[in-house]
Amino acid sequence: MSSLDAVLDSLQLLDYMSVAGAAAVCYDYILTFSREVSWLAGRSWSVMSMLFIAARYLGLALAIFLSGAATFHIFMWGGLIYIFVTKAIMILRVAVMFNHPKRTMYILSFLYFLVVIEQFIMYFLWIGPHTDLIFSTANLADDTICSIQLGRNVMFPIYGGIPVGLFDLLILALSLYRFAVHAVETRKMLGRTKVNVYMRLLFE
């Protein structure tokens, strides 16, 4: 097998994997659509329900775009917004575990607002205009292959992702702390560990 055939086979395999992933996501959405309708029916709109809808359908759109001809910028910026939405949902979930949920939510929201600003600045400097981002095409057999050359060092997004990683560790630490406290309290009261509906929010 020539090197050209090997490259084409690898690209075809990646396409198959992308389509399979998108199909799995769409199948899951179809299976859970009735539950979504029953959950939203008759409810007044809240911040959580709007975040849920945004995360659900933005994730579906990104999965479909990943298997199609989406542009690089749409996928990258859309993925960033999707992460923001899912993190906001997690903040609300963690906040209700504490005795003062509003205070906890305000503190976490403020910290995450700083992270969001940092991420937007990092993405703008990484893949925004005037960043020496180069798109090129090459013809292989009967196909046209697109390639991307980033203008900045590969370590730039890694360093830029440190605040996000630290915030994720904070959320994880708070979740584990509340779960441990809850487990100890219920064991003292009931003689056994029992997870209530609020703790289940961490795992659903």
Residue 188 confidence (pLDDT) = 77
Residues 6+ apart with CB under 8 A from 167: 87, 111, 112, 115
CA distances from 78 to 65, 74, 89, 114, 202 (A): 10, 6, 17, 19, 25
In 3D space, the residue among 15, 10, 11, 137 whose CA is nearest the CA of residue 67 turns out to be 15
Whole-structure pTM value? 0.70
Query: Checking DSSP bridges between strand 134-140 and strand 143-149, what pairing results, if any?
Result: antiparallel
Residue 109 confidence (pLDDT) = 93
Task: Please tell me the chain's helix, strand, coil percentages from 3-state DSSP, rounded to the nearest 5.
Answer: 75, 5, 20
Mean pLDDT of residues grouped by 10 in the chain (204 residues)?
A: 63 73 78 78 77 81 61 78 89 85 91 93 80 65 65 78 92 86 76 58 52
Output DSSP code: residue 196.
-
Residue 165 confidence (pLDDT) = 92
Residue 50 confidence (pLDDT) = 83
Buried b vs exposed e over 5-33: b needs ≥16 C-beta within 10 Å? eeebeeeeeeeeebeeebeebeeeeeeee
Residue 107 confidence (pLDDT) = 93
Buried b vs exposed e over 107-130: b needs ≥16 C-beta within 10 Å? ebeebbeebbebbeebbeebbeee
Q: Which element (helix H / strand E) includes 108?
A: helix 101-127
Nearest-angstrom CA–CA distance, 87 and 82: 9
Structure tokens, 162: 């440190």
Output DSSP code: residue 134.
E
